A and B are shown apart, each in its own frame.
Chain A
């Protein structure tokens, strides 16, 4: 499997190195030195040892933010497709689980202990077995704070073990995805074409005031051992894309743009990645 090194992430340093490398290569060749540029593919081992699993279930995600995109459906679909193409694990096809509802139901199932008369009702979680006091889960998830109480769902080992048994003990991928609109205004640097008196074109950076809007994507992937229901590892990322407010950029296209930056890290957790580059051999 081969991926590009996260193409949209801040890569100023990498671009700088690449430009400097190209300039240096040209200079050295011009000077007659003996050097040979060769393509290399550096294999990077997976961050997580998943050798115990042959199958993976991308179960579903607790989602929040905009309703313009079905974030659960799209995330499940995208990750399954990436895993099918770029990992050794067999991907289980199943309907994405509606985990917002599952979390709500588990919360409702928390029993109200009224057995002690005269005392106020005590709320306990019945299904998690974790001993966490049940608190109200926000019906609508608007920000990261709203998401926090939903984390209990991922600590519910009994529940995930049951899901694991249902699918013959795969590696389970779940978590939460927050995809929220963002607006920002202020000075931004843009490149502007300038022509001098002789008609020569130059591009100069100029600072302009701009109103921008876009989205912030904050996925948290949780990897669960389907045999035990326990969390093995998790991966959190946060990406943002802002555009000129006059441009109507569809939410779904922004979602894919942001996921494109995140997917290499996700895949790098589960499978060996090959990173393409060039190096210079010397005599």
Chain B
């Protein structure tokens, strides 16, 4: 009986949490979509602002971190870009598209970080 009660409580908690999570994701997704829209028109700073808001709303949104990585990369903020890509991959390690973006970024970043010849 106690087990059933516990299961019911857990089930209720999960059911209560799902709409909240769905709301956060939906709201974050709106920000991401707006960011994509403005990035495609070359307004990268506005896009970055939107994607930053998206990850604030939903810190487990891998696509938003991926987009943020691209935005930072375009603005030359390479440290921030690396962190954003790495966060995206930490959330979705098997996302091949994020991995591709990250590999392309790394190639440029490693190249720029080559030590100066003395």
Binding site for B on A (CB under 8 A): 5, 13-14, 17, 20-21, 24-25, 28, 35-36, 38, 40-45, 47-48, 233-236, 268-269, 275, 277, 279-283
Chain A residues, CB < 8 A from B56: none
Q: A14-B107, A24-B96 are in contact. List 20 more A-B contacts (CB 8 A).
A: A5-B111, A17-B104, A20-B100, A40-B70, A42-B73, A43-B75, A43-B76, A44-B108, A45-B76, A47-B112, A47-B116, A233-B116, A233-B117, A234-B117, A235-B117, A277-B108, A279-B73, A280-B97, A281-B70, A282-B62
Q: Quick check: B63 and A36 within 8 Å, CB to CB?
A: no
Chain B residues, CB < 8 A from A281: 35-36, 39, 66-67, 70
Interface residue tally for chain B (C-beta within 8 Å): 33
Chain A residues, CB < 8 A from B96: 24
Q: Quick check: A21 and B112 within 8 Å, CB to CB?
A: no
**Does B79 reach chain A (CB closer than 8 Å)?**
no
Complex partner residue of B40 from A36, A41, A283, CB under 8 angstroms: A36
3 nearest A-B residue pairs (beta carbon): A282-B63, A43-B76, A44-B112
Q: Quick check: A236 and B117 within 8 Å, CB to CB?
A: yes
Q: Quick check: B108 and A42 within 8 Å, CB to CB?
A: yes
Chain A residues, CB < 8 A from B36: 36, 281, 283
The chain B residue sitting closest to A21, CB to CB, is B100
Q: Quick check: B32 and A283 within 8 Å, CB to CB?
A: yes
Determine the distance from Cα of A279 to Cα of B68 in the docked complex, in whole angstroms: 12
Chief secondary structure at chain B's binding surface: helix
Chief secondary structure at chain A's binding surface: strand
Q: Which of A28, A43, A277, A281 has the most CB of B within 10 A?
A: A281
- List B65-107 residues whose CB lies under 8 Å from chain A: 66-67, 70, 73-76, 78, 96-98, 100-101, 103-105, 107
- Return A70 CB to nearest CB of chain B, in Å: 26
Q: Quick check: B67 and A282 within 8 Å, CB to CB?
A: yes
Q: Quick check: A42 and B97 within 8 Å, CB to CB?
A: no
The chain B residue sitting closest to A220, CB to CB, is B117
5 pairs from A and B in contact (CB 8 Å cutoff): A38-B39, A42-B105, A279-B101, A280-B97, A282-B67
Chain A residues, CB < 8 A from B32: 283
Chain B residues, CB < 8 A from A234: 117-118
Chain A residues, CB < 8 A from B62: 282
